[in-house]
Amino acid sequence: MNYPSVLIEEAVNELSKFPGVGKKSAMRMVLHLLKQQEQDVINLGEAVIKLRTQIKYCKRCGNVSDADICNICNNPKRNQKNICLVEDLRDVIAIENTSQYNGTYHVLGGLISPVNGVGPDDLNIASLVERIKTEEITEIIMALSATMEGDTTVFYLSKKLKDLPVNISTISRGIAIGGELEYADEITLGRSIALRVPYAGN
């Protein structure tokens, strides 16, 4: 694509680095920005700069935080002996929205995937082991994706942690609540049948 201005070209190139955004969408965004009030766009730019330069990660769990220790880790009402292990910030938000969990988190920062150049050393595993040892953690809930990479990471960690006095659990997998059985994919349904659970009467 040829652009009438170097400024536009630069902006398009930067915006098209977003996941799922191509050159055409980036061009639409640029046109949108040019139509806005100058101050609005400056605010946007400053917000982005501040976001990247001032962001902090919780020294304990790796979650995004405005202080050294995040709100969740700092909350005395939460069970500080439980850790819910997640891949990234989005999963923290998702689980928080369920209001079903009252412990702390630990953000891994990814999943083991050599093909993508991610090994165990690239993840926050050392800090997790350290926490389990020093904080007398009693249970760790592995809430990772039900993908091959998620399985790999869960399996690897369970081996790493097996000599530590901590209970390891994983979130259950199966039929979506409110979902009709016939719409479940065969793999999920097959697994749900194979790994059925005793009826607890809810």
Partner 1 sequence: MLAIKTLHLQQFKNYTSAKINLHAQVNCFVGKNGAGKTNVLDAVYYLSFTKSYFNPSDLQHVLHDENYFSITATYNRNDLVENAFLFFEKGKKVLKINNNEVKKFSDHIGHYPLVMITPNDIMLLHEGSEERRKFLDGMIAQLNKMYLNDVLLYNRVLEQRNKQLRVFAEHGQIDQTLLETYNALLIKHGNAIHQYRKQFLVEFVPVFNNFYKQIANASEEVSINYQSDLLANDFEQLLIENTQRDFAAQRTTKGIHKDELEFCINGYAIKKFGSQGQQKSFIISLKLAQYHYLKNRTTVKPLLLLDDIFEKLDEQRLNTLLQMIANGEFGQILITDTHLDRLQLVFNTMPEVDVKYFMVDAGKISELE
Residues that bind partner 1 (CB under 8 A): 112-115, 119-120, 148-149, 151-152, 155-156, 159-160, 185-187, 190
Taking the complex as a whole, the smallest distance from the CB of residue 152 to partner 1 amounts, in Å, to: 6
Smaller CB distance to partner 1: residue 18 or 155?
Answer: 155
Closest by CA position to 83, among listed 105, 102, 53: 105
Taking the complex as a whole, the smallest distance from the CB of residue 112 to partner 1 amounts, in Å, to: 7
Task: Please tell me the distance from the alpha carbon of residue 62 to that of residue 30, in angstroms, as a whole number.
Answer: 34
Are 85 and 117 spatial neighbours (Cβ–Cβ below 8 Å)? no
Smaller CB distance to partner 1: residue 51 or 194?
Answer: 194
Smaller CB distance to partner 1: residue 30 or 108?
Answer: 108
In one-letter notation, the amino acid at residue 35 is K
Instruction: Determine phi and psi for 57, rounding to 5 degrees.
Output: -115, 140
Taking the complex as a whole, the smallest distance from the CB of residue 176 to partner 1 amounts, in Å, to: 15
Smaller CB distance to partner 1: residue 9 or 122?
Answer: 122
Q: Which helix (H) or strand (E) holds 52?
A: helix 38-54
Are 84 and 106 spatial neighbours (Cβ–Cβ below 8 Å)? yes
Taking the complex as a whole, the smallest distance from the CB of residue 159 to partner 1 amounts, in Å, to: 5
